[in-house]
Amino acid sequence: MTILKPNNSIQLNLGFTTLIGFVIAIVAANIYVYSGIVNFQHITGNNAKELQAAQVANADLKNSLYKLLDLSNFKAISEELRLVKETKPSFLEIGISVAANQ
């Protein structure tokens, strides 16, 4: 008696090839995602350095502004320009009342 078995090696090879294809696709996707994460961290690291430099420059500008607006600096500039402080200043008046009359 002869027992005939069909050749199943083609079906086995197709399943193995499909499995290997999925593994390669998953590895490629992981590499792509990892590369994106590394690029994002690099960009945010550069932005953090630029932000810190901008904050330092902003602090320097504020310091310079506060020095210019200092009251003692106004006195020195007024003396340099020979300005005189008025004791009784007169203001421009218009016949409109600022307060609400109710």
Task: Determine the Cα–Cα distance for residues 15 and 23; give it in Å rounded to an integer.
Answer: 12
Place of tokens 């810190």: 52
Tell me: the pLDDT tens digits for 52-87? Answer: 999 999 999 999 998 888 877 787 888 888 888 888
Examine residue 58 and state whether it is found in any structural domain, yes or no.
Answer: yes
pLDDT of residue 72: 78
Examine residue 56 and state whether it is found in any structural domain, yes or no.
Answer: yes
Full domain range(s) for residue 56: 45-78
Number of domains in the chain: 1
Neighbours of 1 (CB within 10 A): 2
Examine residue 19 and state whether it is found in any structural domain, yes or no.
Answer: no
70 token code pair: 């200092």
Task: Determine the Cα–Cα distance for residues 4 and 21; give it in Å rounded to an integer.
Answer: 32
Examine residue 95 and state whether it is found in any structural domain, yes or no.
Answer: no
Tell me: the pLDDT tens digits for 16-26? Answer: 889 999 999 99
Task: Determine the Cα–Cα distance for residues 2 and 64; give it in Å rounded to an integer.
Answer: 102
54 token code pair: 């901008």
